[in-house]
Amino acid sequence: MVVPHVTDTSGPTRLMRREVAARRQEANNGADGVRLRHAVSVTRRTADPLADLEGKVAGAESGGLDRLRLVEVPFVPEVRLHLAEDAIVWWARMEAEAGTVLPPPYWASAWPGGQALARYVLDNPDVVTGRRVLDLASGSGLAAIAAGLAGAATVAANDIDPYALAVIGMNARANDIQVRQAGGDLLDGDGAGVDLVLAGDVFYRRGLAQRMLPFLERAAARGARVLVGDPGRAYLPADRFQVLASYEGSVSDEVPNAEISRMDVLQLRLRD
Ligand SMILES: C[S@@+](CC[C@H](N)C(=O)[O-])C[C@H]1O[C@@H](n2cnc3c(N)ncnc32)[C@H](O)[C@@H]1O
């Protein structure tokens, strides 16, 4: 299936590169280097991520790259999300305000894998209708919201980042969908209580991939259906999956050979 050109999903790739660069820098500098890097702190972040984010959503009239905006998702225009105008600049603003190093705001971009999954469930609502759905490593909540729009009985969105949970609530409200925000790390379990597990773009880092596959296998072994959205990430164990749908598009990026041209929706194969 060919879908419209992806206009901007470059954020995640740039975020990943910046994360790697920042980690290298910290490793080289040690703790002193980290302190120096943030010697000029502006204001402290509030203790409440939701209030913090709500205060930073920009209206259509305001300019600047360090903003969140409520926008349509390129592949999934049925869904609107609060996304960063530029995720790197947004991350820099968050860190400057916090006065400390923060994890990347992955939730401020709609990742290609999540976009593919969301497209798939909206185009194939029978996959989710009446099902209890868990969107694992949900980020912005994109796949969870798509599942809700497609008729899921219940939808939970899990992420370890408290800012992701806050923005998932904002995004669910913006789309008039009920999503239960589930914090914490669920990867040692089996997703008990849900019929369908969605996982968009979760094979981008070795350590996460090594824990993700066993989780997904346990969920499948107890009877859940497991669908993954992936644009060809390095740590996807492709031999464990069957491709259900492929979407073509291109993702512009500053590094020409980092371009993403295909996004797959895959179903985990049951072990014999
Ligand atoms: C690349 S983003 C994908 C977000 C979303 N699924 C999408 O496709 O737009 C990966 C997400 O995984 C989350 N994450 C990382 N480790 C996790 C874990 N152990 N449990 C749950 N979420 C995790 C991150 O916080 C981040 O939001």
pLDDT of amino acid 266: 98
Task: List, as own/partner pairs, every contact residues 51-58 make where C-beta atoms lie below 8 angstroms and the sequence separation is at least 24, other chains included.
Answer: 52/163, 52/166, 53/82, 53/163, 53/166, 53/167, 53/170, 54/170, 57/82, 57/170, 58/85
User: With pLDDT > 90 as the criterion, what percentage of the chain qualifies?
Assistant: 65
What percent of the residues of the chain are helix, what percent strand, and what percent coil, each to the nearest 5?
A: 40, 20, 40
Q: Which atom of ligand 1 is nearest to the CA of 109?
A: 9
Predicted TM-score (pTM) of the model is 0.88
Give the pLDDT band (50/70/90) at residue 23: low
Which residue shows structure tokens 């049951």? 270
pLDDT tier, 253 (very low <50, low <70, confident <90, very high otherwise)? very low
What per-residue confidence (pLDDT) applies to 21?
75
Q: Which atom of ligand 1 is nearest to the CA of 112?
A: 8
Report which residue type is found at 143.
Answer: A
Closest residue (by CA) to atom 13 of ligand 1?
Answer: 137
For residue 35, what pLDDT is reported? Answer: 35
Q: List ligand 1's pocket residues with C-beta within 6 A.
A: 12, 106-107, 110-111, 113-114, 137-140, 142, 158-161, 164, 185, 187, 200-201, 204, 208
- Residue of 241, 183, 189 lying closest to 214 (CA atoms): 189
Task: Give the domains, in start order, of the chain with CATH numbers.
Answer: 112-268 (3.40.50.150)
63 CA to centre of ligand 1 in angstroms = 28
Q: How far apart are CA 265 and CA 200, in angstroms?
A: 9
3 has pLDDT over 60: no
d(Cα 2, Cα 146) in Å, to the nearest integer? 19
Higher-scoring residue by pLDDT: 14, 239? 239
Measured by CA distance, the residue closest to atom 1 of ligand 1 is 201
> Tell me, what's the pLDDT at 36?
31
Residue 264 CB partners (closer than 8 Å, separation 6+) = 116, 229, 230, 231, 232, 243, 244, 245, 246, 247
Name the band, by pLDDT with cuts 50, 70 and 90, for residue 259: low
How are strands ordered across the β-sheet holding 154-159?
Answer: 180-183, 154-159, 132-136, 196-200, 225-230, 260-268, 241-251
* Residue located nearest, by CA, to atom 23 of ligand 1: 137
Q: How far is residue 88's CA from residue 27's CA, in Å, rounded to a whole number?
A: 20
Taking the C-alpha atoms of residue 230 and residue 198, their distance in angstroms, rounded to an integer, is 11
With beta carbons less than 8 A apart as the criterion, state whether 226 and 268 touch: yes
> Rounded mean pLDDT of the chain?
85
Q: For a pocket test of ligand 1, which of 106, 185, 212 has the largest count of ligand atoms closer than 8 A to its C-beta?
A: 106
Instruction: Report how far Cα 254 is from the mean position of its chain's Cα atoms.
Output: 21
Neighbouring-strand partners of residue 2: 248
249 vs 137: CA distance, rounded Å: 23
pLDDT tens, position by position, 129-177 = 999 999 999 999 999 999 999 999 999 999 999 999 999 999 999 999 9
Q: Give the Å distance between the CA of 257 and the centre of ligand 1.
A: 24
pLDDT score for 249? 75
Residue nearest to atom 11 of ligand 1 (CA): 137
